[in-house]
Amino acid sequence: MSTSHTSPGHGRRSRYGRYTGGPDPLAPPADLTEALDAVAEEVMAGYSPERALQEFLRRGGRGREGYDDLARRLAEKRRELLQQHNLGGTLQDVQKLLDDAVLAERGQLARDVMMDDTDRTFREMQLDNLPASTAAAVNELSSYDWQSTDAREKFEQIKDMLGREFLDQRFAGMKQALEGATDEDRAAVKEMLSDLNDLLAKHRAGEDTDQAFQDFMSKHGEQFPENPENVDELIDTLAQRSAAAQRMLNSMSEEQRQELMELSAQAFGSQDLMDQLGALDDNLRDLRPDLDWSGSAEFSGEQGLGLGDGTGAIQDLAELDALSEQLSQGYDGARSTDIDLDALGRQLGEDATVSARTLAELERAMRDSGLLRHGADGSLRLSPQAMRRLGQSLLNDAAQNLSARTGSRDTRLSGASDEQTGASRPWEFGDTAPWDVTRTVTNALQRSAAEGQSPTGRVRIEVGDVEVVDTEARTQSAVALLVDTSFSMAAEGRWVPMKRTALALHHLVSTKFRGDELALITFGRMAMNMDVDELTALPPVQEQGTNLHHGLLLAERFFARHPSMDATLLIVTDGEPTAHLEEWGEAWFNWPTHPETLRKTVIQLDRVTRRGAKVTFFRLGEDPGLAQFLEQLADRAGGRVTAPDLDDLGAAVVGEYLRFRESGWDEVDWG
């Protein structure tokens, strides 16, 4: 953080201070490219964009914890809390103080030579026959006339500690605040409890006022560091602590609860404290019955926790559980903003807060960037902007693979609808051809010189100077990409590579060769023309059938709508045709391939090739029967079969499209 000021004669100065919160100005921006790639990958695998975004946030990104990582850390802390501690700390402390007091008293009795032997013997017998129960022994010694000053102090410490522990159960930090407290301090606490119960009783009856709350806080506010602004906030804070105290008692054994109940009478040496605390618990339970007053936890460790610390541990467990639910994002309408960052920081540290805040910012950026949009049905979808970015990314991947296969090439020229002839011509109104810069500047210089302008002056280009690159018409292509969507494609891990290939080709055609036409045709049990976003979101369906016949029928209709274009047919499949379309429009399925299915498929392929379509099959998998079948179809169609690896499928399809276009790989600007 910096502030600036200007002083006479010294210019501007800056003063820097400690960073005091808010978004980290030095934090790297959210990596939307990584997030989009991850979301798109899940969408292509069949997830909804909403689910895909949540899955990415759960996994996290490169070098960044996701919600699952944070949830694992929460679960580990919860496990450690239960395995390292037990709830017998207060009883253990009381027993130790009692043992110390009895030992000090025995020593005093042994050293006091002036004591009557009968009195000494009676006292020793009383100490020897104390009940095994800690609480019963403390109660029995409550009226004992201690001879040892040290022993008396130890026993008084028991009463003081019990009072502070019972208060700490309901008011966090009270144990430390009352350490070494005077009688006046304890009287002030009792008065606070009495006033608090009066305020809560009035609130229950609807008789309290804001002024009553303000008067209470003016008198006792220093004992409430949470600084509640109204009586409801005060009740919420106290009730959550009181409910945790009850859950802690529920987590103890019956014997431990009985011991504490009996010891409670010794708290500060007065029953008044416990009566006030009991009334407080009753008021809070009635005011907040929706809280968890009946839960429990199983502590199994060796480190004892006192009543206050035990209640705090129970509250920590509740906070850990709440955070785990928030991080799960498994409920309707879940958002990253639901996560309590303050609570997360308390439990896991500032690094966890930074991770969660970064994920929340990433989710916000994804939703606000225009990469995701809500459809008419309210569902979240990839936007056209996201589809373009995704298509460009996939096309770049295909280009890299294709470059590795064909060698490095000059990629400076962009695809256009016309071929350059090497000549130029004067610009005419409506021309969209690129300027011939050299001829244009030369024309301007020659005209300026003829008009007597100084050669050192600025050159002014006029309309008559402009010449454009001369082109001649280039043949356009109609491309039908048929992709197999039978369930085996998903089962064998080919579903996403198939979609990535379709998106890459679609982006190439729609951005670099806009004069071409592309049809994306899926064929499973039935065939269907699909938009690129429909294909991207298409989930795998466990349905039998590879209806290449129907796909070829749709391809023929597509080519018929573009008779002046060169026809290109690209077919991606991993199985022989096992279905065909009947005359009445229903699919007929049989496995293995039925002769009628084969006949109809071959006839339809012949119809397509009679339109001059150039055909390439892309075989996925190692099925020798499929390999032989596709080779026969390719021979019949005058085409060919390639068998690319899945990682190379996009490059193979894109490269085949460019080869058929005779456009030249080096004419494409892939950026």
Average pLDDT over residues 555-580: 96
Do 76 and 110 reside in the same domain of the chain? no
Do 74 and 95 reside in the same domain of the chain? no
Residue 430, sorted as left (phi over 0), alpha (psi -120 to 50) or beta, turns out to be left
Examine residue 171 and state whether it is found in any structural domain, yes or no: yes
Q: What integer pLDDT is reported at residue 11 of this predicted model?
A: 43
For 274-330, how does the pLDDT look when each residue is reduced to its tens digit (9 = 90+)? 899 999 999 999 999 999 999 999 999 999 999 999 999 999 999 999 999 999 887
3-7, 356-360, 376-380, range with the lowest pLDDT: 3-7
Examine residue 396 and state whether it is found in any structural domain, yes or no: no
Beta bridge partner(s), residue 571: 482, 617
Across the chain, mean pLDDT equals: 85
For 225-269, how does the pLDDT look when each residue is reduced to its tens digit (9 = 90+)? 889 999 999 999 999 999 999 999 999 999 999 999 999 888 887
How many domains, the chain?
4
DSSP secondary structure string, 440-487?
HHHHHHHHHHHTT--TTS-----GGG-EEEEEEE---EEEEEEEE-SH
Examine residue 397 and state whether it is found in any structural domain, yes or no: no
Integer Cα distance of 215 and 526 in angstroms: 78
Structure tokens that stand for 666 in this block: 């080096």
Q: What are phi and psi of 27, to 5 degrees?
A: -70, 145
Examine residue 21 and state whether it is found in any structural domain, yes or no: no
Q: What are phi and psi of 426, to 5 degrees?
A: -60, 145
Residue 57 belongs to domain spanning: 29-85+320-382
Contacts of 442 (CB under 8 A, 6+ apart): none
Do 466 and 531 reside in the same domain of the chain? no
Residue 568 pLDDT more than 60?
Answer: yes
Residue 195 pLDDT more than 90?
Answer: yes
Residue 109 pLDDT more than 50?
Answer: yes
Do 65 and 96 reside in the same domain of the chain? no
pTM of the model: 0.64
Q: What integer pLDDT is reported at residue 5 of this predicted model?
A: 43
From 267, 298, 329, the end of a domain falls on 298
Confidence of residue 379 (pLDDT cuts 50, 70, 90): low
Do 376 and 247 reside in the same domain of the chain? no
Taking each helix axis from N to C end, the angle separating 89-111 and 149-170, rounded to the nearest 10 degrees, works out to 170
Residue closest to 403 by CA, chosen among 37, 33, 670:
670
Do 147 and 54 reside in the same domain of the chain? no
Q: What integer pLDDT is reported at residue 20 of this predicted model?
A: 47
Examine residue 400 and state whether it is found in any structural domain, yes or no: no
pLDDT, greater one: 2 or 638: 638
Examine residue 16 and state whether it is found in any structural domain, yes or no: no
User: How many angstroms from the chain centroid is the CA of residue 206?
Assistant: 44
189 near 129, Cβ under 8 Å?
no
From 382, 409, 429, the end of a domain falls on 382
Do 514 and 372 reside in the same domain of the chain? no
E strands, 474-565, are: 477-484, 517-523, 527-530
Around Cβ 181, how many Cβ atoms within 10 Å? 17
Average pLDDT over residues 219-224: 90
Do 59 and 198 reside in the same domain of the chain? no
Integer Cα distance of 497 and 269 in angstroms: 77
From 382, 404, 426, the end of a domain falls on 382
- Residue 592 DSSP code: S
CATH code for the domain in which residue 521 is found:
3.40.50.410
pLDDT, greater one: 626 or 411: 626
Examine residue 92 and state whether it is found in any structural domain, yes or no: yes
Integer Cα distance of 40 and 52 in angstroms: 8
Do 48 and 164 reside in the same domain of the chain? no
For 330-351, how does the pLDDT look when each residue is reduced to its tens digit (9 = 90+)? 777 778 888 999 999 999 999 9
Examine residue 492 and state whether it is found in any structural domain, yes or no: yes
Do 627 and 499 reside in the same domain of the chain? yes
Do 225 and 278 reside in the same domain of the chain? yes
Do 546 and 458 reside in the same domain of the chain? no
